[in-house]
Structure formats: structure tokens, C-alpha cells
Amino acid sequence: MASNNTNKLVLKLFGAVVGMFAFGFALVPLYDVFCDVTGLNGKTGTQAYQAVDVEVDTSRTVTVQFIATNNDQMNWAFKPEKTMLKVHPGEAITTSFYAKNPNAKDMIAQAIPSVSPGRAAEFFHKTECFCFNQQPLAGGAETDMPLQFIVDQDLPKDIRTITLSYTIFDVTPSGVAQAK
């Protein structure tokens, strides 16, 4: 009789472990969907925003700050053309980020954006961004990568500064990069 109770307990515990393991795997995609829907954590869209003609709100100025960070395994030179711009909501803005591959081998990079404060993410629209695609760069080469954006006129009035941060990662498939 005790053995039967022990077997049931072991099966319940095993089921709980399997359930927790499955839940752990489901958390990442669920979190990504939640962040995309709510704009939580400063996640911005990964597709170009289709700009529409709107009146520029010249009565209001928003400061947009730019930050460039390299992942630990990425040794490229990577920086914004300008670290700060003053913009009017509704105004289409163009700027760029500089990148240089100091290595002898070709590499491919991917930039991941984040907007702070997180609630400003839904009001920051990129119409063109190097972050939409992977960026190949030959060994020793350098490039300017364009960014075009619009700060939505519906941005809450208490948000006066938006920080757009990019972290750049090495996504070169192993065996693809060739030493020159």
C-alpha cells in the first residue's frame, strides 16, 4: 500500500518537473509577444514604419539621445553620428551610425534596438534602420548605417527625452568568415 502511494507521489513530482521545464521554454516567446504588444521593456518594431503626412508640432521639442554598445564578443568600432538631436514630433529625421570592422576577416553584425523610457517605444517610429537587417562588413572596411525615424505627435507630454540604444552582436556563421 505504501509503495502505491510512493509511486503516485513520484509520478506527480515528475509531472511537476516536466510542467516547469515546458513552462520555462514557453516564457521567452510569451515575453516577446507581451513586449511587442505592450511596448514594455523598450522593444521597438523590427519592420519599417510607413510614414504618413502629418503636421509637424513645432510648439514642442523632444530630445532624442543615441547610445551604441558592443556585445562582449564584438570588437567593431560602433558609434552614433550624433549622440543627441532635438526634434519636433511629426518631423522625419535622418541620422546614421558609424561602424568599422578592424578585423582581417569579413563579419556580419546585427543591431538590437531598445527605447527608454519603455512607454515611449510605441511613439518612436523607425522608417529606415540598419537594425532591420544583418550588416555584412568586409575586413578593415567601414560604413555609415542610416537611421530615419519619426517621433509620434501622440507622445505623452511628460516625456521630453527618449533614448535609443543599440547593442551590436557578431552573427557571422562559423566557417563563413574568411581571413584575407
What CATH number does the domain containing 93 carry? 2.60.370.10
Check whether residue 15 and residue 52 sit in a common domain.
Answer: no
Q: Give domain status of residue 180, yes or no.
A: no
Q: Give domain status of residue 20, yes or no.
A: yes
Check whether residue 161 and residue 91 sit in a common domain.
Answer: yes
Instruction: Give the tens place of pLDDT for each residue, 120-175.
Output: 999 999 999 999 999 999 999 999 999 999 999 999 999 999 999 999 999 999 75
> Which pLDDT value is given to residue 164?
96
Check whether residue 26 and residue 105 sit in a common domain.
Answer: no
Instruction: Give the tens place of pLDDT for each residue, 71-97.
Output: 988 999 999 999 999 999 999 999 999
Check whether residue 50 and residue 30 sit in a common domain.
Answer: no
Q: Is the pTM of this model over 0.85?
A: no
Can you give the residue range of the structural domain that contains 14? 1-38
Instruction: Give the tens place of pLDDT for each residue, 12-59.
Output: 888 888 888 777 767 666 666 655 555 555 455 555 555 556 688 899
Q: Give domain status of residue 134, yes or no.
A: yes
Burial of residue 90, with CB atoms counted within 10 A of its CB: 0-12 exposed, 13-18 middle, 19 or more buried: buried
Residues 6 or more apart whose Cβ sits within 8 Å of residue 11: none
What is the DSSP secondary structure assignment for residue 155, as one 8-state letter? S
Taking CA 74 as the corner, what is the angle to CA 71 and CA 77, rounded to the nearest 5 degrees?
105
Task: Identify which of 84, 90, 101, 77 has the alpha carbon closest to the alpha carbon of residue 152.
Answer: 90
> Which pLDDT value is given to residue 34?
59
Check whether residue 141 and residue 82 sit in a common domain.
Answer: yes
